[in-house]
């Protein structure tokens, strides 16, 4: 069974950093692209970015709203993906989901981890 489990969320002050982790199981982690999607409380879905598999070139893309502040990476030996978030803003408050791609779409989702940015 494909599973994705996020961790690392919590309360953080504006301007500080946080790193989210995503552990995949039940599939060959390194063979698939991983995307991060967030959802602010009561709002819609917001694409954060993705990282391709190494076999597909390993390209990384970030949404314009987080470019320069957030960095996506992966460690296939550990079946892990990461979202490093720096210079956090109040508007970054959201549930952050890790997803595994199917044909360019987010076919599998984790349960999400809540990040609250507040002083």
Which CB atom, from 3 or from 17, has the smaller least distance to other proteins?
Answer: 3
Classified as helix, coil or strand, 91 is helix
Q: Could you give the C-alpha distances from 90 to 38, 110, 119, in angstroms and in order?
A: 14, 23, 9
Give min distance, CB of 67 to other proteins, in A: 10
| Least distance to other proteins, CB of residue 77, Å | 26
Comparison of 4 and 88: residue with beta carbon closer to other proteins = 4
Helix (H, G, I), strand (E, B) or coil at 16: coil
CB closer to other proteins, 7 vs 13 = 7
Closest CA to 48 of 37, 64, 59: 37
Q: Where along the sequence are the contacts to other proteins (CB under 8 A)?
A: 35, 37, 44-47, 49-50, 61, 63-64, 97, 102-112
């Amino acid at each position: 069974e494909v599973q994705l489990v996020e961790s690392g969320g919590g309360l953080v002050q504006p301007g500080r950093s946080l790193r989210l982790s995503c552990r995949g199981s039940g599939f060959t982690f390194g063979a698939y692209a991983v995307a991060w999607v967030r959802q602010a409380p009561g709002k819609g879905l917001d694409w954060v970015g993705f990282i391709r598999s190494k076999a597909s070139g390993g390209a990384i893309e970030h949404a314009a709203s987080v470019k320069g502040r957030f960095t996506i990476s992966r460690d296939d030996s550990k079946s892990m993906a990461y979202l490093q978030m720096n210079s956090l803003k109040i508007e970054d408050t959201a549930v952050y989901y890790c997803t595994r791609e199917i044909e360019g779409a987010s076919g599998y989702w984790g349960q999400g981890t809540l990040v609250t940015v507040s002083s």
